[in-house]
Every structure is written in C-alpha cells, then in structure tokens.
Amino acid sequence: MPWADLLTLAQRHLNILPREFWQLSIAEWNCLMSTAVITGTGPMGRMDFDALAAAFPDTLTREI
C-alpha cells in the first residue's frame, strides 16, 4: 500500500495526526492495523455514538 494511502487511513480512521504517523514504529503501526482494520473495529461511528449517548445521557447538576 502506498505511503499516501497509509497516511490517509491513519488520519481518517484512526485519528492519528501526520506527525504522530511518522513517529510510529513498524511494530506500533502493525498493532494499530491489526486491532483497527483487521478486526473491523475502529473509531465509533455516529450511530454507535448516538446509541451510547441515549443510554447514558448527560445530566446537568447545579450547585447552590
């Protein structure tokens, strides 16, 4: 896979900044890839976030 594609994957799907991407070791990258891409897990999608927010709504408390 070309470097540009790897960098795009890191930014869009793993939320890794370019400077962080270039500081990763091959072992660290492989670990990220095995957990985020191969297993199908990655950043939480909007639907999952909405379900989580509905299950655990924020409550406002006011101290007097």
Summarised one tens digit per residue, pLDDT across range 8-32 is 777 777 788 888 888 989 888 887 7
pLDDT of res. 40 = 58
Domain annotation covers residue 61 = no
Task: Please tell me the number of Cα atoms within 13 Å of 27 on its side-chain side.
Answer: 0
Q: Give how many domains the chain has, as a whole number.
A: 1
Which pLDDT score, from 0 to 100, does residue 2 have?
75
Within a domain: 48 = yes
Average pLDDT over residues 37-53: 72
Q: Is residue 38 part of a domain?
A: yes
The reply to whether 42 falls in a domain is yes
Please give the DSSP secondary-structure letter assigned to residue 2.
Answer: -
Q: Is residue 29 in a domain? A: yes
Examine residue 62 and state whether it is found in any structural domain, yes or no: no
Mean pLDDT of the 34-54 span: 72
Q: Is 7 exposed, middle or buried (0-12, 13-18, 19+ CB in 10 A)?
A: middle
Q: Is 0.85 surpassed by the pTM of this model? A: no
Please give the share of the chain, as a percent, with pLDDT higher than 90: 2
Domain that holds residue 36: 3-55
Residue 47 token pair? 């639907």
